[in-house]
Amino acid sequence: MVSVIILAAGASSRMDGVNKQLEKIGDTPVFVMSALKFERCEKVGEIIIAAPQNDAPRYEKLARNFGVTKLTAVTEGGATRFLSVKGALERVSPKADFIAIHDGARPLILTEDIERVLLDAEKYNAAIAAVPATDTVKLVGGNGFVESTPPRNKVYYAQTPQVFRKKLYLDCIEKLGNSIENVTDDSSILELCGEYVRVTEVSGCNMKITRPDDLAAAKAVHSGRKTVKMI
């Protein structure tokens, strides 16, 4: 069984004062649309939402009103991504074999892509959604000068969901301790422990809403999918 953690506790600091998680795409709040994509996956047994502090009741009500029937808990997020994850982990069912972590601000993930990441995680113990880099990436030093240019065919943009066998993930967290509190990518925890992480290429747009123009773009993609019945 897969336990899903939807991270929706961010400050939306680049959204000009707008809470991106509560903005609507079509008729659905962003974080709810993300949760509903996992609701449709047979392997998913529960969904836990990490909400902003003091706002958990509102997020729970919205999720239930929009049909997230697998919701088992809404927790309060922390000051960092990992602290939000950590709080949600405390509510994960003992029956869960895998933990899937997803950004609430990635509502366009296709359910079929989620299922492919889940299958890879079952096979390899850890898998993440990702897309190949389309731009040349530069590694830059603290002085602002380019240090190196990695081969583009080896560079991927990490996305979510990121799915891990629960015992392996929890063992790595315990091993690394407080040194992981500022990680921005959950798979980095396993990498720091020397574990392998499989990359699963997603087939559809899985953009993260970070700025106001991202929200407009996400609405356009969603509208286009409705036209061709890809929702």
72-76, 78-82, 84-88: least confidently modelled range: 78-82
Token pair of 170 as six digits: 């929890």
Write the pLDDT tens digit of every residue in 117-170: 999 999 999 999 999 999 999 999 999 999 999 999 999 999 999 999 999 999
Q: State the DSSP H helix or E strand holding residue 117, giving kind and residue range, or none if neither.
A: helix 111-124
Q: What distance in Å separates the CA atoms of residue 72 and residue 48, rounded to the nearest whole number?
A: 6
The three-class DSSP label of residue 205 is coil
In this predicted structure, the answer to whether residue 16 has a pLDDT above a threshold of 80 is: no
Domain ranges within the chain, ordered by starting residue: 2-128+158-227
Q: Which residue has the tokens 């509102």?
A: 58
- CB-based contacts of 175: which residues, under 8 Å, 6+ apart? 193
Report residue 10's pLDDT band, with 50, 70 and 90 as the boundaries: confident
Q: What is the pTM of this model?
A: 0.94
Q: Which residue has the tokens 């709080």?
A: 87
∠ Cα 150 155 158 (to 5°): 140
Whole-number pLDDT of residue 183: 87
Q: Which residue has the tokens 């069984």?
A: 1
Write the pLDDT tens digit of every residue in 176-211: 988 888 888 999 999 999 999 999 999 989 999 999
The three-class DSSP label of residue 21 is helix
Task: For the domain covering 2-128+158-227, report its CATH number.
Answer: 3.90.550.10
**Cα-Cα-Cα-Cα dihedral sign, residues 88, 214, 191, 126:** positive
Q: State the DSSP H helix or E strand holding residue 102, giving kind and residue range, or none if neither.
A: strand 98-103
